[in-house]
Structure 1
């Protein structure tokens, strides 16, 4: 596998300049959230949300009916762009076209969350000292409070994807007062427990500590920064026509997310790689790796001494899911290699309030189909909108 990747990279980077320029990337690959919203007929507001610990996050808003406010939170290596890059088929624009008051948030680290009141992401390693815990405890909390203050509502409905669901489970279990502020939460590809991973994902988690040690030795705290060499290489590999599309999809998608090529066509894959992967911290991956290896949805493990200083116990405490009382819909893909059905069932059994539960009908529905599939309107949206109605 590594030989195939190496050969392909060499072939692509040595393509004649004239051949490279013949292939023009789709416009939507180059537009940001606001520009995409305007292109597809909607005005977009941009707001700065400042967290308790000083991170400045861009929050996008497409105005609609005040009583119909919906907040969307993205996953790891992603941004709010993920919910709009499908154009009129995207969840953001589908909701906006129905009159919903749509808010799309960003968690710290990506291109829309790379600012701080006093830390510099380029020079201060402390800026990158965060994981999914901070995404929930600080970022999601601040975004929810901002939306509630702006709309003068007492509670809102939210939708999260992947790590966006993890952030919800963190927030609702560690700051229970937010169960009243979020009256309904739809979890797309829920991620809490990672006990039933299979190869190659489980293989990567097993060598995770070695990878982390290597990255740490190089002083790498930020992963896949926008406009970095790694990001540019990914865009190059995935934008050279149908052959590179097949390779990029098979290598980057199917082994880790579940093979389902018919829902992401070649042209749209080029749009995706213009926006994703987005940057995150090394610590974010380490935390997920710890959850997988320990088989516990728990706080970050700092080691025995630091755990005792922070948590007053030697082992990081598990998040108390028993404190989550808000209405929840869990939507799961049978072919999702990250949000495994067994793990979601485990999560479901620990929630004190019986959640709505839906297993996606297409057998091949995978982790990214929840945000990028070309038939979301057929298989996913009906259940999302019925859940939102139940949460009113």
Structure 2
């Protein structure tokens, strides 16, 4: 590398690095450090999946019997449940004495390890979607928690893709319906039949975007500490103007407009943790769900489908296999988990799942993990559901 090249790189990266140093402290702390800051020492464990991925699992021990496992959404990590500090779901659960576990799925900053594959050099590492998040990652995580605690069953809370992973697991491995005694689905995603612009617009051009990324050999998206990721963080963490540009104009249209609950100061904390990377294939699979108007396995094309599934078309997930007690919690203003789509899911789940429509009319997709008034509107319902699962 020439001296001129080095100077150019320094001229670009040094201002970014210096600017990022001015972020709020919570934007720079990891899950374990945030737990310690807010009064709860965190234990870390390695969970190894059947197909060799190594995932970090966080644990805050509690006195209330029965573990509670949290699973995050797409391009996210366990951090999402703790970055609100004392108001976060993790700290609130821990303060109340719950035995809290927070999992991670492959590909994010806590899931970039594998027994044999290198995420930086092996494209095979990124050959996964939400199917693997449920079939392998959630499976291994649930088993690890049960083995560690000696319990026979667990209560779980998922957000966005964290709910999708549950629906995959419980429908493809029915035996896990006995291991998960109750599941709270925040902003559940299984069907995307009723999304509206700009989400629907992006899904329609999804195949073109996918072809472009594939032509460039891009399998990992928004890698943590990458130049692109740090540039996004820099642009979106510089006060009220960045907040207006990144959250109100760029993010809200895809999540639901509700600036009251995610203020500009906290937005700077969010950008230190999100996005946390995902695979190209993960976005493609959700795009297939939207365009195909069904909750189905990954579509590889007729010949590969037949090899994998013995069918020419990827099979739908059999939601009728799910017997776990499910609670669906929905936002009226959620642009990704639309009320009408959750109604489709609800009609296909056996046993008349519990259903709760959030009171604030503007409650959106991100408010379930980051709203500044979760304690008032969301947590009472979460705790009542957890207690019902415990005593059923």
Q: TM-score range by the shorter chain?
A: over 0.9
Match of 1:245 in 2: 243
* Mapping for residues 1-392 of structure 1, pairs under 5 Å: 21=19, 24-65=22-63, 67-392=65-390
CA contact (8 A) 2:64 2:97 kept: no
CA contact (8 A) 1:225 1:231 kept: yes
Instruction: Note the alpha carbon deviations across 1:96-148, whole angstroms, 9 max, x for none.
Output: 00000000000000000000000000010000000000000000000000000
What runs of 5+ residues in structure 2 fail to find an aligned partner?
A: 1-10
CA contact (8 A) 1:235 1:273 kept: yes
Report the number of matched residues.
378
Q: State how far apart, in whole Å, the 1-side matches of 2:233 and 2:19 are.
A: 14
What runs of 5+ residues in structure 1 fail to find an aligned partner?
A: 1-12
Q: State how far apart, in whole Å, the 1-side matches of 2:302 and 2:250 are.
A: 36
How much has 1:17 moved relative to structure 2? 6.0
Instruction: Note the alpha carbon deviations across 1:159-182, whole angstroms, 9 max, x for none.
Output: 000000000000000000000000
Instruction: Note the alpha carbon deviations across 1:32-59, whole angstroms, 9 max, x for none.
Output: 0000000011110000000000000000
How much has 1:216 moved relative to structure 2? 0.2
SS of residue paired to 2:192: coil
TM-score w.r.t. structure 2 length? 0.94
TM-score w.r.t. structure 1 length? 0.94
SS of residue paired to 1:198: coil
SS of residue paired to 1:358: strand
Cα distance change, pair 207–380 in 1 and its aligned pair in 2 (3 A): same
CA contact (8 A) 1:66 1:151 kept: no
How much has 1:66 moved relative to structure 2? 5.9
Q: State how far apart, in whole Å, the 1-side matches of 2:243 and 2:308 are.
A: 46
Q: State how far apart, in whole Å, the 1-side matches of 2:311 and 2:341 are.
A: 26
Q: State how far apart, in whole Å, the 2-side matches of 1:115 and 1:252 are.
A: 31
SS of residue paired to 2:35: helix
CA contact (8 A) 1:71 1:102 kept: yes
Task: Provide the aligned C-alpha RMSD in A.
Answer: 1.5
Q: State how far apart, in whole Å, the 2-side matches of 1:339 and 1:312 are.
A: 31
Deviates more, 1:241-250 or 1:218-227: 241-250
Query: Which consecutive segments of 4 or more residues in structure 1 shift more than 6 A?
Result: none
CA contact (8 A) 1:298 1:316 kept: yes
Q: State how far apart, in whole Å, the 1-side matches of 2:19 and 2:314 are.
A: 52
Cα distance change, pair 160–176 in 1 and its aligned pair in 2 (3 A): same
Q: State how far apart, in whole Å, the 2-side matches of 1:335 and 1:228 are.
A: 32
Instruction: Note the alpha carbon deviations across 1:6-47, whole angstroms, 9 max, x for none.
Output: xxxxxxx99x969x7598210000000000000011110000
CA contact (8 A) 1:23 1:241 kept: no
Instruction: Note the alpha carbon deviations across 1:70-107, whole angstroms, 9 max, x for none.
Output: 00000001000000000000000000000000000000
